[in-house]
Amino acid sequence: MAKRPVWLDNAVFYEIYPQSFKDTDGDGIGNIDGITEKLPYIKELGCTAIWLNPCFESPFGDAGYDVSDYYKVAGRYGTNEDLERLFNEAHALGMHVILDLVPGHTSWKHPWFRESMRAEKNGYTDRYVWTDSIWEEPVGYGSLRGISDRDGSCMVNFFTHQPALNYGFYRPERPWQQAMDAEGPMATREEMKNIMRFWLSMGCDGFRIDMAGSLVKNDEDGKGTISLWQDIRCFLDKEFPEAAMVSEWGEPDKSLAGGFHMDFLLHFGPSHYNDLFRCDNPFFEGRGDASAFVKKYLESYEKSEKKGLICIPSGNHDMDRLAKHVHGDKLKLSFAFLLSMPGAPYIYYGDELGMNYVEGLTSVEGGYGRTGSRSPMQWDASVNAGFSTAATEKLYIPLDPSPDRPTAEKEMRDDNSLRSEVKKLIGVRQAHPALQSIGEIEFICDGAPGKPLCYLRSLGDEKILVMINPTDTPSESDVCRGEIIYSFGTVTENCGKFVVAGGSTVFVKLK
């Protein structure tokens, strides 16, 4: 496992979708200067780091995940100098910033791809994955076909306009499938190192890597991709040893073996993450079952040698807002969980307010069903909720039209608001190392139907019992002695044991 930057040990991240956070120039789209302006807000909440979704030049067919220039901030957001200023201002506040890097594909409008389309061989011919014949498509992948004089079909990673970059095949099976150490794949790998070097030299503190486990194709058990990231890890250890690397992989044992510091627990795949927050009967609404989540979490935890580096987000730009399925004070219980688990927690902008998923929106920039989770941040009661001075019809995505929509200004004045509770929970986490990223976890109750979630966090001599009870019935702990360091709802003592009422939670520091 890679040596971890010390600042990750107590990191609490805030994810910013730049289009929707704060617009300072009145064009209806958020920008870098808007993020810089709101750094004190993020700092005051208690977050120590920011994950910034893609901000590079792009035709925005997929909200910036279709990059056309990795070395340039998109003009709608500002300039490279604006981003450098954001880094510097964040550092002055004791905060860190990681950028979203998309190494698996580019936009089809990227100059590299335009060059690769030429019939004549050139330096970019093998930058992407092409078959030898227009009549052959990559099995198991979509492709671009008949778009140029070059004979062949180009593999795509997601949308049709996102051609897959070439990192080689772990087991080449066709003549056009190049080995990982072939000239083209190695040139692609070295260019990604150059991109990292460029932004890290400017002051970036690391990267969240999009689709990190997907780079090498025909990859048996991820072995080729792990090897590739180990090579990149060696480069970083030599030149930028303090750079943080967080993967969107969903398999922490592979991610950490590849040299990443942390891996996201994904909302798709086998994690059962959705059992907690996003299903017909979410556990945190008091009607669901967390046991399958706990079982899978422990499997990953054991495989990653109990490193405690599995990151659990409140949400992100790809999933429904937390408040779509979990409501009222149950959101506070959700954050009690998120902010007491191992690994760095990630708060998606606005989730700390309980921002709604906005129903029925027309897709914007490839958002489709995700668009409702990308609406503008709600700052105050002024025009456009303080997001922008633009005419309402020019906003990047429409605002939540609800008359009672939450705002940062209102919730900061209310000691009983969700945001105030989130701030309190972050403070408790930061005051107790056992609750932070590398503290160990032992589950005592797995949240089976009708049961609470109960686990013990520990680091050194500090041991903290966490009980979260979203059900309708009280639950009693087996703990006889301890100090309550946080509680919400109704918690009482009975013969030296703690009784946690339905809809309540308690953190107990054991004696």
CB-based contact 501:491 (threshold 8 Å): yes
Half-sphere exposure of 464 (CA within 13 A, CB side): 25
Q: Which residues pair with 498 in a beta bridge?
A: 493
Give pLDDT, residue 465: 96
pTM for the whole structure:
0.97
What the chain holds in terms of domains, given with CATH numbers, is: 6-104+185-428 (3.20.20.80), 105-166 (3.90.400.10), 441-510 (2.60.40.1180)
Give pLDDT, residue 1: 59
What distance in Å separates the CA atoms of residue 244 and residue 357, rounded to the nearest whole number? 31
What distance in Å separates the CA atoms of residue 22 and residue 184, rounded to the nearest whole number? 40
CB-based contact 348:313 (threshold 8 Å): yes
Query: Which of 99, 106, 64, 101 has the alpha carbon at shortest distance from 84?
Result: 99
Q: Which two tokens stand for residue 243?
A: 């750079």
Give pLDDT, residue 458: 97
Q: Which residue has tokens 């040990």?
A: 9
Give pLDDT, residue 304: 83
DSSP 8-state symbol, 131: -
| Close Cβ partners of 194 (under 8 Å, ≥ 6 residues apart) | none
What distance in Å separates the CA atoms of residue 446 and residue 75, rounded to the nearest whole number? 49
Give pLDDT, residue 188: 98
Give pLDDT, residue 298: 94
Largest Cα–Cα distance of the chain, in whole Å?
82
What distance in Å separates the CA atoms of residue 511 and residue 506, rounded to the nearest whole number? 15
What is the 3-state secondary structure of 160-171? CCCEEECCCECC
- pLDDT, averaged per 10 consecutive residues of the chain (511 residues), comes to 86 98 98 98 98 98 98 98 98 98 98 98 98 95 95 96 98 97 98 98 98 96 97 97 95 93 84 93 96 94 84 95 97 98 97 98 98 98 98 97 97 98 98 97 96 97 97 87 94 87 96 86
Burial (CB count within 10 angstroms: exposed 0-12, middle 13-18, buried 19+), residue 9: middle
Element (H, E) at 449: none
Give pLDDT, residue 306: 83
CB-based contact 199:192 (threshold 8 Å): no
Neighbours of 160 (CB within 10 A): 11
What distance in Å separates the CA atoms of residue 149 and residue 123, rounded to the nearest whole number? 17
Q: Which residues pair with 497 in a beta bridge?
A: 494
What distance in Å separates the CA atoms of residue 44 and residue 460, rounded to the nearest whole number? 29
CB-based contact 486:425 (threshold 8 Å): yes
| Close Cβ partners of 392 (under 8 Å, ≥ 6 residues apart) | 384, 398, 399
Q: Which two tokens stand for residue 312?
A: 């659990």
Q: What is the DSSP string of 46-103?
A: T--EEEEPP-EE---SSTTSS-SEEEEE-TTT--HHHHHHHHHHHHHTT-EEEEEE--
What distance in Å separates the CA atoms of residue 22 and residue 491, rounded to the nearest whole number? 40
Helix (H/G/I), strand (E/B), else coil: 210: coil
